[in-house]
């Protein structure tokens, strides 16, 4: 490993912050975070995302409920929703008469498909992580909320989202309450299980077992006899995940639908 410079130290010491001090963020700080997000790499320099800042306390309170009852959302001084956004480009294509051009040259004019949703989601998430690191450099902590992908119909209505806009991630920001260094850094799997060269390596039973040695994960669910059962019961098979699956299916159905909603 190379000697740690200030950027490497920042990345190494980041931890998710869920308890925020009451200190508000200044407009300069918010602008700096948004600017940092917008300097992120973006496919084809197309910026296939939008950033929705939630300033209304009632909406934050509602998000607590629609995002799996997470009270820290309501207490975060800055809440940003990162939207995968293809609407802007397709509206621009429309006013630019791209469908007419396609007709003229005998090309099919395609509307956004699954790949466009994934690419726009890549853009939005990379921008979100740039926002996280920018905030971190100002001493401002953050917490991703993946549950924004749940309750698609409610969020669509709440935020007036057209069909080619999908909320892929929400991030809460705020100065940490208390000493953030006291929050232990979470462990990661050893690199050899994550980093492969040239070919994907499917892990054997022994390797999968070894992967969990030295992990800081704890078995909490009384029904779970091992870590696989624990993670399935509390995450992958939990009610919030079931809702996320339902919600994302519904969103993709709208994204791919023929009718112009
Ligand atoms: C896509 C994504 C979604 C997440 N969703 C939530 C969430 O809904 N609520 C929450 O408290 N933390 C959430 N987190 C934070 C993770 O729980 C956290 O990153 C993880 O436990 C590792 O801890 P660390 O960030 O402190 O290293 C999310 C993180 C990511 C990347």
Sequential DSSP letters for 87-113: HHHHHHHHHTTHHHHHHHHT---PPP-
**Beta-ladder partners of 34:** none
Check if 15 has its Cβ closer than 6 Å to any atom of ligand 1: yes
Kindly give the distance from the C-alpha atom of residue 15 to the centroid of ligand 1, in angstroms, as a whole number: 9
pLDDT at 261 over 70: no
For the Cβ of 234 lying below 6 angstroms from any atom of ligand 1, the answer is no
Whole-number Å distance, alpha carbon 14 to ligand 1 midpoint, is 12
pLDDT digits (tens, 9 = 90+) for 205-254: 999 999 998 788 899 999 999 999 999 999 999 999 999 999 999 999 99
Rg of the chain, C-alpha, whole Å: 21
Ligand 1 centroid, distance to 125 Cα (angstroms): 13
User: Does position 175 have pLDDT exceeding 70, yes or no?
Assistant: yes
Q: Is 155 in the pocket of ligand 1 (CB under 6 A)?
A: no
Q: Compute the distance from residue 87 Cα to the ligand 1 centre, in Å.
A: 28
Q: What tens digit of pLDDT does each residue of 11-41 get? A: 999 999 999 999 999 999 999 999 999 999 9
What's the rounded mean pLDDT across residues 62-76?
98
Distance 171 CA to ligand 1 centre (A): 10
Distance CA 112, CA 101 (A): 17
Query: Which atom of ligand 1 sits closest to the CA of residue 169?
Result: 1
Which residue puts its alpha carbon closest to atom 22 of ligand 1? 186
Helix (H, G, I), strand (E, B) or coil at 49: strand
The residues, ordered by sequence, that sit 6+ positions from 230 with a Cβ below 8 Å of its Cβ are 217, 219, 220, 221, 224
Supply 135's token pair: 């905030």
Q: Which residue has the CA at smallest separation from atom 15 of ligand 1?
A: 144
Q: Region 176-199: what's the mean pLDDT?
A: 96
Closest-lying ligand 1 atom to the alpha carbon of residue 15 = 26
- Measured CA to CA, the distance from residue 78 to residue 190 in angstroms comes to 34
Indicate which residue's Cα is closest to atom 3 of ligand 1.
Answer: 146
The model's pTM is 0.97
Question: Which protein residue's CA is at the shortest distance from atom 31 of ligand 1?
Answer: 144
Share of the chain above pLDDT 70, in %: 99
Q: Is 132 in the pocket of ligand 1 (CB under 6 A)?
A: no
Q: Where are the domains of the chain?
A: 6-186
- Alpha helical stretches, state H, 96-211: 98-105, 114-137, 152-159, 205-211
Measured CA to CA in angstroms, residue 169 lies from 9, 83, 166, 219, 232 at distances of 25, 7, 9, 27, 22
d(CA 169, CA 147): 8
Ligand 1 pocket, residue 143 CB under 6 Å: yes
CATH code reported for the domain at 6-186? 3.40.109.10
CA of 143 to the centre of ligand 1 (A): 6
CA of 145 to the centre of ligand 1 (A): 7
Q: Which residue's C-alpha comes closest to atom 7 of ligand 1?
A: 145
Q: Is the pLDDT of residue 153 over 70?
A: yes
Distance (angstroms) between ligand 1 centre and the Cα of 102 equals: 44
Quick: pLDDT tens for 95-124: 999 999 999 999 999 999 999 999 999 999
174 phi and psi, to 5 degrees?
175, 160
């Amino acid at each position: 490993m190379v000697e740690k410079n200030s950027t490497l130290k920042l990345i190494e010491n980041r931890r998710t912050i869920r308890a925020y001090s009451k200190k508000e963020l200044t407009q300069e700080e918010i602008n700096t975070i948004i600017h940092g997000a917008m300097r992120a790499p973006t496919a084809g320099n197309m910026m296939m995302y939008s950033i929705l800042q939630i300033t209304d306390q009632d909406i934050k309170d509602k998000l607590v409920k629609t995002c799996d009852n997470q009270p820290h959302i309501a207490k975060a001084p800055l809440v940003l929703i990162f939207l995968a956004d293809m609407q802007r480009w397709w509206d621009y294509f429309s006013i630019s008469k791209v469908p007419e051009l396609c007709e003229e040259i005998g090309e099919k004019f395609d509307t956004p498909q699954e790949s466009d949703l994934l690419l726009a989601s890549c853009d939005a998430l990379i921008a979100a992580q740039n926002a996280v690191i920018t905030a971190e450099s100002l001493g401002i902590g953050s917490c991703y909320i993946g549950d924004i992908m749940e309750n698609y119909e409610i969020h669509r209505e709440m935020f007036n989202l057209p069909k080619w806009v999908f909320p892929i991630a929400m991030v809460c920001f705020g100065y940490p309450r208390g000493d953030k260094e006291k929050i232990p850094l979470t462990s990661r799997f050893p690199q050899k299980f994550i980093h492969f060269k040239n070919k994907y390596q499917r892990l054997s039973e022994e390797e999968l077992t070894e992967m969990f040695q030295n992990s800081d994960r704890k078995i909490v669910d009384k029904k779970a006899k091992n870590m696989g059962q624990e993670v399935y019961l509390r995450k992958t098979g939990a009610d919030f995940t079931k809702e996320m699956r339902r919600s994302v299916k519904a969103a993709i159905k709208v994204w791919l639908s023929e009718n112009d909603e």
